[in-house]
Amino acid sequence: MAVGKGTSNMVNLLLIGVIVLSLFGSNVKGLGVNWGTKSTHKLPPDMVVQMLQDNEIKKVKLFDVDKTVLNALADTDIEVMVGIKNVELESMTNKTNAVDWVYNNVVSYVDKKVKITSIAVGNEPFLKEYEGRFINSTRPALERIQKALNDAKVGDKIKATVPFNGDIFMSPPWKPLPSAGILRPEVEDEVEEIADFLAKNNASFIVNIHPFLSLAVGDGGFPMEYAFFNGDISIQDGDIEYTNFFDAKYDTCVSALKKIGHENMTIVVGEIGWPTDGSKWANNSLASKFYDDFLPRISAKKGTPLHPDNIEVYLFELLDEDARSTLHGDFERHWGIFNYAGQPKFKNATFVGAKDVKYQSKKWCILKDDASYDKLKLTQNTLYACESADCSAFAEGGSCSGLDDAGKLSYALNAFFQVANQSDDSCDFGGLATQVDKDPSTDLCKFNIQIKPYDPSESSWTSWFSSSHITNAPSFALLVLVFLAMGSLILV
């Protein structure tokens, strides 16, 4: 922390702290994170759970049912949403399958004291690009799962719901305003029935809101500042002035649900965040800018014009995932608020990183200095290495996009070597490659060393944590306080 060293700063900080505390209370309730596990080298789940606790993160959203993850969450206060994949939806429309699924993946973990509170039935199943593939299976699966939960006597505490992409909501082209929000016509009937079912069952409606995607994958017409919260751009909607995409999109959902009779439905934001690499719009400074504004809003329980109260959100996401699909863009592997090794990315955000992370040896694999090569061979080898290793930093605007062809091959060789657990035969490439113990990273482009592969059967990982659960790490509330204080200090 660069702030608060001098006495007067410290006093200011304390004063502001007192004011902020009295305004907002000391707890950030409702902050959740998505915990995806598509990584070549996973951090031990116990270590991640410790990290969640150190940061006072109270809710996690999972995309599937990973037993090592769920076991690590046992006996904690962390609320857990487990996920059913879209490809499983069809099979969940069958009663026997739904009952079995609930028994094996919910009831058995509830018995082990995992605090499961909801089931995500599918993940954005009505996304436009799926072209209706899951339109007929989602609602029946949702109903089957809730029925199975009820029959297992856990339905009062565990609610099935469906995380939707924000693209199920829109405003008509002739009235592009949040107040005119409606459901996308192709999915309107199904979403309406799902909303009715959720309401009857007191479950929340979940929608993912991604200002980054509107900016980075849109048609280019999206004004950058509208993705953030500076108020430089605004849209007038009656008496309301919308200054950012998040408020406008959320209120579009509020308006659309109101039109179908659900004005009081709880709308949870299932995903929101900003990636740090793999696109020209994804870097640390933009992501910091986003979180610097967004996190204090959440802690201050500041909602939107149409929903001024607290909004429950799940940040997207906890950790970078180096094996996540890059179908939608190379940035997909860089959404973490922590990097692949559980280390915090943002200076201002005093998130507490994973402790005692075990890295592989301090060695890298690069292109031999004297290797004779031609351009074609460079490219072919790079492509080959990047098939199994993560080269998403090569994307236009990415942190390693500035390397020349030889530099890119070195990067790819190293990434391949690290993924292969630094085995000697993974650093050969027909004699092109060699191991070095001097870090070949450049200022912008980091050649990573992977963490040690985690083997769930090795108990040594877990034993590290049994020693102490006491932590004096700053809480998330304090972190947000520091954010606010820093902002105010600049004004003073």
Ligand X SMILES: *[C@@H]1O[C@H](CO)[C@@H](O)[C@H](O)[C@H]1NC(C)=O
Would you tell me which residues interact with ligand X (CB under 6 A)? 94, 96-97, 132-133, 135-136, 156, 201-202, 261, 263-264, 280-281, 283, 285-286, 288, 292, 347-348, 397, 419-421, 453, 455, 486-487, 490
Contacts of 109 (CB under 8 A, 6+ apart): 70, 74, 116
**Strand partners of residue 364:** 436
Catalytic residue among 124, 143, 321, 332: 124
Of 60 and 246, the one with the shorter C-beta distance to ligand X is 246
Q: What does the block give as tokens for 472?
A: 């004096």
For residue 237, the SS3 value is strand
CA neighbor of 190 nearest in space, from 147, 138, 143, 256: 138
Please report how close the Cβ of residue 365 comes to ligand X at its closest, in angstroms.
13
Please report how close the Cβ of residue 155 comes to ligand X at its closest, in angstroms.
7
Of 373 and 454, the one with the shorter C-beta distance to ligand X is 454
Of 108 and 285, the one with the shorter C-beta distance to ligand X is 285
Please report how close the Cβ of residue 126 comes to ligand X at its closest, in angstroms.
12
Contacts of 48 (CB under 8 A, 6+ apart): 35, 69, 72, 318, 319, 342, 354
Task: Please say if 271 is a catalytic residue.
Answer: yes
Of 23 and 490, the one with the shorter C-beta distance to ligand X is 490
Catalytic residue among 143, 190, 271, 332: 271
CA neighbor of 462 nearest in space, from 471, 453, 452, 454: 454
CA neighbor of 418 nearest in space, from 374, 452, 441: 452
- Cβ count within 10 A of residue 227: 23
Which run of H or E residues covers position 439? Answer: none
Please report how close the Cβ of residue 25 comes to ligand X at its closest, in angstroms.
21
Please report how close the Cβ of residue 157 comes to ligand X at its closest, in angstroms.
10
Bond before 56 cis per omega within 30 degrees = no
Task: Please say if 131 is a catalytic residue.
Answer: no
Of 43 and 420, the one with the shorter C-beta distance to ligand X is 420
CA neighbor of 81 nearest in space, from 153, 165, 160, 142: 160
Active-site residues, by number, are: 124, 271
